Each structure stands twice: as structure tokens, then as C-alpha cells.
Structure 1
Amino acid sequence: MSASPIGNGRINLEQQRKRARELLRRLKNGAEPAKLAFLHSLNASSSVKLSDAQWLIAKDLGFSSWPKLKAHIDAIDFIARNPRFAADDEVNTVHWRCGNDIEHSLRLAGFKGIFHTLTDPLCMGPVQGLAHATYRTQRIEFIRHAFGMDLGEVTRRFDQEYEHLAKVAELAHGVLWCEADAYDQLFLIRVLASLEHLPQKLELIEIGQIPGVARFIGIGQLSPDVLAWLWPQRRLIGREAHQLARQAWSAYCCGSPLQMAELAHQAHACLPFLAPALRRQLQELPHIKNGLSLTERLSLQYINEAGPVAFASVYAELMERREPLPYLGDIMFYAVIKPLIDADEPLVAESDPNIEWPRRLLTLTRLGLEVIQDRAYWPDYASQKKWIGGVCISPRQPHWAIGDDLHPVWRE
């Protein structure tokens, strides 16, 4: 079995040196003909040196040279040995994140500030521009139903998080930790859009990839030392980003996806990851050919290839290989696929429902096979409404869909 491409960002220099020496041996023995031919295409010299193998290793890890790989490792090692959090007055900082996946690692790295989360999964369910009391009722009901959670627990957490959110404008120093996916970018614009004015100092740590990590899916996968390395890279959130976030949040809450699509097809230097995340979120609209969202389509395609296959394996396949911009946690993924199973005319059949859901085996039904072959249209058979922000998809009703060009179309 091949190793997972998902790493924690911590690169061991001695391990890479050993890899380079082993690669050099394989190159000289002719065991790596493609790499040897590639080296010869760059340099006609017939001799292969250790520096050539080191360069190939660095390139494999996403660096342009071995010295740059070594410099990156040295920088993280230095940060780990010499944390500057006290000098930055980090102890008085309020850290904001869309989940609790990094607090423990930040503590291990030496961070001592206050940690707040906003776990409302804004990439799922109805998200409309409503008065807070109505919005609260709608979101609590969605979260409770979608994830099978206790109403009291959902209500307590929701109220606590939004109470903290209401105080962001009063912060002396706040830092938002985000990655490039829709879950995080919607969290980012939700926080910024809630502000009538920016606080005294609000900064952003925002990343789309990490050197040496072949498959970056989230800040939560990173080691404490790598999180510490990110700290000096934070940047101040200015008025332009604030205004863009308010515009994007309004567009996301709208009953039409046209404004969101307009923003999704523009570049925004102040929030560079916003447009790609919005484009990915547009792909959760029904595809014009079969009515499946991209998540549904990727899942059904894999189930068709590998089925019967366990829920957990489908999720791992998406996260490690197929999903272009991973944004779903495992429970969220389960909530996305469950309506395809529970419908009166399902697309997916699951094995014994009495075992824990990750182990249940999934297979396509006859209708599921027809849908992925574009011979049937899923919303014509679905039993539940689906929301993408403020856009509602009701079964057997005219609705917004998405084409291959990622521009929304109205489907009668």
C-alpha cells in the first residue's frame, strides 16, 4: 500500500539526505531510468552526482533547489528553538479558527493566547441574510438534524460562539487562522462581514500549501513547529479585505448564485483564496447534466469503481486524491452522502445500518448508475431540499444549476 500523501509539514533533513544517497545509488545502477533521462536532458554529462539526487529530492518536495529545502528546514528548526511569542505579546492575542483542530498543537508550540472557534459549517445547509434570531433558529435546526446532535448542546455551542463573534470588533489584537478551502474562506468572510468596523489590530494567517507536503488539506494536519513557523507570516487585514468580505457574504446569502459567481471569477489580491473557494462552492450546485454536486459526483464515481466499499474508504479517497479543494470533515461528508441513501429512490445502498457508519459498505443502485452516466437527473428523484448558501434546490422544481464553465444557469 502506498503511503498517504498527507504529511504534517515537518521535514527531517537527515532523512532527506539518506533518501538522496539511496536515490544516487539507484540512479547509478540504472534503477531510475526516467529520472536519469530527465537529468541527462538538462545536462549532457554522463556522470551523476549526489547534488543531482539532492536536487531531485528537493523538487519532489516542492522546492526549486536543495539549498532552499535546507533553508526551509533550518527556519522551522530555528523557530522551534527560539519562539518569539512573548516578544509579539501573543499572550494577549485572541486566536480565531473555524474548528478546534489546532489549539492543542498551538499550545504545544508555546502559544498562550485565548482561543475561540466558529464551528458553524457555513458550507452546508441554509445560510441566508436573515435577522439573527431567525438565522439562529434555522442554523441550529440544520446542524441538529444533519449531524444527529443534541439540541441543547448545539444551542449552547452556537450561542457561545456567536456571543464571542459579536465582540471581535472590540479586540486589541486578533488573529484568524485560515486555509484556502470553502469551509475556511466562508468562516473568514463571515467573521469580517459581522464587523461594522475593524478592530484595533486584526491579522490573518492564510495558507494554501505547505512546502514538503504533497497533499495539504488543512492547518490541523501540521506539526506544532510548523504552526510556529507560520506565526511571523501573519498580515494585517485592511479596509479593502473587510469591504470585499461583506460583499462576498451578502452574495453567498443571496437566493441567486449570480453575484457569488461574479466574485468567483475575479482575482482579489486582498483575499487571494476567496475566489477559488467560491468557485469550488459553486460546484456544489447540481451539475446541469446529472444534477449531482461535485462532492456527490466524485463519491459516486469511486463507489462505482470500487464498490462495495466502506464509507471511510470513500472519504479517504476524496481527501487524499480526488477532491480538488478539500473542505469536508468526516461527519460532514457523511451528512452530504446520507440524503443519497435515505431518498425514496436512492442512488446509494449501504450495508448493515447497525454498525458504525464508517464501516458500512456502499454500492450504487440502478438509479445511481443511471445518474452518473448522465441518463437520469438526481433532483427529479431526490426527497430532500438542498442549500448552497442562500440558494435552495427543491426536488422536481426549477432551480439553479452549474455547467462545466462554472457559470450558474437556471434550469426549468
Structure 2
Amino acid sequence: MSASRTSKSKNTKPAKSPVFDGRLNLEQQRKRAKDLLRTLGAKTGDAVARFEKAGFTPTPQTISDIKLADAQWVIARENGFASWPKMKAHIDQTAERNRQIKNGTPATLDTDKTLHLRCGSDIRHGLQIAGFKGAFLEFADPFCQGPVPDLPLDQFVQTRADFIADAYHIVPKDALARAKREYGALATLGEYDHVVLWFEHDSYDQLILAFLMDFIKTTRPDTRLEVISVGTVPGVERFIGLGQLSPELLIWCWENHRAPVTDAMLTFGSKAWQAVRSPTPDLLTDFITSGPGPLPHMITALQRHHAELPDPKTGLGLTQKLTLQIIADHGPLTVGKTFAHLMRTYDPLPYLGDLMFWADVQRMMACVDALFTITSDDRDANWAERTLTLTDTGHQTLAGQRNYLDNFTGTRWVGGISVVGRSCI
């Protein structure tokens, strides 16, 4: 098992919610608008609330005046568009792209001297289907977990490989070989005419993007550099990642979110990377509060990363807190179902993969008094079916009546910051 992302399982970063490919059907949306108008007229369901959420406030006196066009406007707003005509134009455009792909006549988008760099392999096949011709490079070191120390590159790569081998149960020599291969491949960026960095808005992606900005700023490869950074996609209610998207929606990202990499982006990303690697939280805190920058999703992602630092009252990072909360709300619960709740509804900015979450669960078990019990299973492949049940200690910790760090016997990392349990000091 590697530390990379693949299309659906993505290994350490799998699909984090049910897959929505972003395809919208115009007739289906018309039917939704008619149903909404009918429900509003019958004064049933949540129709009024949906109109109000879209910025339209119907009253008992004005409901009869609301037309189908008004309901269509609400549907367009729910799908992330400013108006029904803008949604229709988007649907028509993506439908044409889909038709071209199916007919084997996709538009010319890149060349064979283009390199697509992505922190996983989740869009590799989709890009090929969409008609992209360039090479694909995966760089997927999950900096959102494990130590990210400020060390010379060779020592840094060894540290990361050691962590990945231990956390994700990979043979150490295989983890190191993969790490050396991925880091070494970055030296080839200048061999391409055009390099495009594909990233989404979560901390898994944005921490890697910060590293790449720092690397590019230092090495200055002789090539045209562009970045695609995506936070929302029309028609996708809860956008989790690029791997959700159909091939024509990848083309939409290419046409609507691609921007040249500027010196300002390189400097901003390099500062972000230095903040992530700092052994104390001061640089990270200062960077987050410095205001928005030229990389649109970096600050929000680093805020989520910062939330993994222990809460003063409970000693829990946000993922740990949410995990306990899910078990308290729904448990006893399997690890797999706990992960699903985390990704679909609880986490404000999901970034973990399934193996990454399992590594967090195992790390939380390093306690004097257990936060939860877990059913035994000697077969590691079935870890997702093991059941978690919150203990009294877990309830007390979640409520802030006990501090997890007083109970924790291990060490975990938030970038360059080590969080050490007081029980092992």
C-alpha cells in the first residue's frame, strides 16, 4: 500500500464523500424547478426556506405571483450559479465537451510537452479521457500528517519515508524508494514546455502546493508554470476533491481556474511552507492572520491545519475531537462509518484519506486510559469493520473534564510542531 491517492480508493487519500461528477441535466433541473414551484403553492415542505436561502422572500400575499422563472432562479442558485441562463450555458458547454469526448474528437487542450503535476493519481485517467496529451507526475507526500521538520532535503526525505512506512504499514525500503522517486522527479520540471499544478482547497493539497511553491522559487525551472486551485464546482453540493469530477468537468477546471504561477505566488507559498515547518506555532499563527494572498485557498487550508494543534481545554486536535463526537453521536460505530461521517458532514474542510484516518485512530489509542474500545481483528485489511465504543474517559475528554495530553503516551505532529503526551514526559 502506497501513500498516494488513486481514483476512488486513493489509498491514503480516497474519495471522501459519495462521488458527484458535477454533470447537470437541464431537463432534470427544469423538473426540479416545477416541483419547487408546486410545493411552494401548496405551502408544504421546505420550499419557502429554499427561496429565502437563495435571497428571495415570498410572503403569503406574494406566493401566487411567483412564476416558474423565479423557481428556476432558485434552482440555479442552489447549484452555484448566479442565474438560470448562466447555469444553462454551463450545462450546454459541458454537454458539448462530453459529446466530443464520446465521439473521440475532444478539443485540443495541451501538448505532449505539457506536464500535469498532481498530489495523487485520482485524475490521471480522467485527464486521458478528456483528451489531455501531456505527461502526468504524481507527488503525494501527505505533509498534513507526520513530522515536517526544517532539515536538508536528504534528511527530510528520509524522515518522511520513515513516517509513511510506520503510519501506513509500508515496507520501509519501499517507502524510501517511492519518496526518492517522487522528490527526484521534481528535478525534471524544466524538461517540459509547460507544467500545470492541479490542486484543490484542502490541507492535504495546499500543504503540498506550499512545498512546491518553495521548491520552484528555489530551483527556478525553465518552463511555463500554471496552477489550478479549485474550491467549489457548480453542481457539486459538497466539493471534496478533483477526483470526484467527470472528464468534462476537469476541462471546465482547466478553462476556468488555470492561472500563471507568479512571483507573488512563489513568495507567498514559500512563506507558507516555512510556517508549516516551524517547530513552534508562532509563524503559522502569524501567517494565517496576515490576510488573503495570491493563492486563494492557502490561508483557509492552513487554518484547518492549525486546528490540529491541541485545544487548551481538551488537549484534542480537531480531527480527534470530531472522531470522539461522531462516536458519541452515533456509536458504537465501525471505523469505516466513523470516517464516512467525518468526511461527509462533520469536518469543515475534509482532507484525510481512509488509511490516514486509521493511522489517526491508532495514534489516539496511545493512552493510559482508553478514549474508546475497539473490537479486535487480527486482519489489518478489515480495520474499517472494527467497532469503536466511547469510554467514560472518552466522554470526559470530549466534555473538557479531562485533558487528553495528560493521558496521551505518544507523540504526534502538526507540521514541524511535535505534540507530546505529558504521560510520557
Secondary structure of 2:141's aligned partner: coil
- Do the aligned partners of residues 33 and 201 (structure 1) sit closer, same or farther apart at CA in structure 2, a change above 3 Å counting? closer
**Offset from partner CA, 1:77-133 (integer Å, 9 cap, x none):** 233345898744432211111111110111111112111111111000000111122
Do the aligned partners of 1:6 and 1:213 also contact (CA within 8 Å) in 2? Answer: no
Do the aligned partners of 2:108 and 2:132 also contact (CA within 8 Å) in 1? Answer: no
**Offset from partner CA, 1:194-235 (integer Å, 9 cap, x none):** 122254211001111111211111111111110011112311
Asked if residue 61 in structure 1 is aligned to residue 64 in structure 2, the reply is no
Q: CA RMSD in A?
A: 2.3
- What CA distance in whole angstroms lies between the structure 2 residues aligned with 1:269 and 1:75? 31
Do the aligned partners of 1:297 and 1:372 also contact (CA within 8 Å) in 2? Answer: yes
Runs of 4+ residues over 6 Å off in structure 1: 83-86
**More divergent stretch after superposition (16-25 vs 146-155):** 16-25
**Cα offset, 1:27, TM superposition:** 2.8
In structure 1, what is the equivalent of residue 170 of structure 2?
A: 149
In structure 1, what is the equivalent of residue 359 of structure 2?
A: 335
> Can you give the 5+ residue segments of structure 2 that lack an aligned partner in the other structure?
1-16
Do the aligned partners of 1:350 and 1:363 also contact (CA within 8 Å) in 2? Answer: yes
In structure 2, what is the equivalent of residue 167 of structure 1?
A: 188
In structure 2, what is the equivalent of residue 361 of structure 1?
A: 387
In structure 2, what is the equivalent of residue 219 of structure 1?
A: 242
Do the aligned partners of 2:109 and 2:131 also contact (CA within 8 Å) in 1? Answer: no
Do the aligned partners of 1:93 and 1:174 also contact (CA within 8 Å) in 2? Answer: yes
What is the TM-score with the length of structure 2 in the denominator?
0.87
Q: How does 1:16-35 map to 2 (within 5 A)?
A: 16-32=29-45, 34-35=47-48
What is the TM-score with the length of structure 1 in the denominator?
0.90
Name the count of aligned residue pairs. Answer: 396
- What CA distance in whole angstroms lies between the structure 1 residues aligned with 2:303 and 2:63? 47
**More divergent stretch after superposition (93-102 vs 197-206):** 197-206
- Do the aligned partners of residues 169 and 259 (structure 1) sit closer, same or farther apart at CA in structure 2, a change above 3 Å counting? farther
**More divergent stretch after superposition (80-89 vs 98-107):** 80-89
> Can you give the 5+ residue segments of structure 1 that lack an aligned partner in the other structure?
400-412
Asked if residue 123 in structure 1 is aligned to residue 141 in structure 2, the reply is no
Asked if residue 277 in structure 1 is aligned to residue 301 in structure 2, the reply is yes
**Cα offset, 1:149, TM superposition:** 1.2
- What CA distance in whole angstroms lies between the structure 1 residues aligned with 2:307 and 2:215? 26
In structure 2, what is the equivalent of residue 9 of structure 1?
A: 22
Percent of paired sites with the same residue:
39
- What CA distance in whole angstroms lies between the structure 1 residues aligned with 2:263 and 2:192? 16
**Cα offset, 1:160, TM superposition:** 1.0
Letter in 2 for 1:117: E
Secondary structure of 2:64's aligned partner: coil
- What CA distance in whole angstroms lies between the structure 2 residues aligned with 1:258 and 1:391? 10
- What CA distance in whole angstroms lies between the structure 1 residues aligned with 2:182 and 2:307? 29
**More divergent stretch after superposition (167-176 vs 326-335):** 167-176
**Offset from partner CA, 1:315-351 (integer Å, 9 cap, x none):** 1111111111111111111111111224343212111
Secondary structure of 1:148's aligned partner: coil
Counterpart of 1:297 (choices 300, 313, 321) is: 321
- Do the aligned partners of residues 186 and 28 (structure 1) sit closer, same or farther apart at CA in structure 2, a change above 3 Å counting? same
- What CA distance in whole angstroms lies between the structure 2 residues aligned with 1:199 and 1:245? 19
- What CA distance in whole angstroms lies between the structure 1 residues aligned with 2:295 and 2:226? 12
Counterpart of 2:92 (choices 64, 74, 96) is: 74
**Offset from partner CA, 1:40-90 (integer Å, 9 cap, x none):** 249836234222221222222222321121122122223334589874443
Letter in 1 for 2:180: D
Asked if residue 263 in structure 1 is aligned to residue 287 in structure 2, the reply is yes
In structure 2, what is the equivalent of residue 381 of structure 1?
A: 407
